[in-house]
């Protein structure tokens, strides 16, 4: 079954840690197959704070 996991963080370093943690956990399963990772950075709010998002598409 193809699934997605969405991440949204205020810092790119936090996004990287979240994604790496997810991948480490999932790769313990022999049936895990990474299909793609989509990344985007955008401004949010009046003070234009940067946010970083990623979607991991995988089969499990």
pLDDT in tens, the chain (60 residues): 999 999 999 899 999 999 999 999 999 999 999 999 999 998 876 776 788 999 999 998
Q: How many independent structural domains does the chain possess?
A: 1
The two tokens of residue 34 are 């990474």
Helix (H) / strand (E) containing 11 = none
Full domain range(s) for residue 38? 2-59
For the chain, the first-to-last Cα distance in angstroms comes to: 6
The span from the CA of 49 to the CA of 38, in Å, is 20
């Amino acid at each position: 079954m193809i699934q997605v996991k969405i991440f949204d963080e205020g810092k790119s370093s936090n996004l990287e840690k979240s994604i790496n943690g997810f991948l480490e956990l999932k790769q313990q399963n022999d049936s895990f197959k990474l299909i793609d990772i989509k990344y985007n950075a955008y401004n949010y709010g009046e003070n234009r704070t940067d946010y970083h998002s990623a979607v991991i598409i995988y089969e499990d």
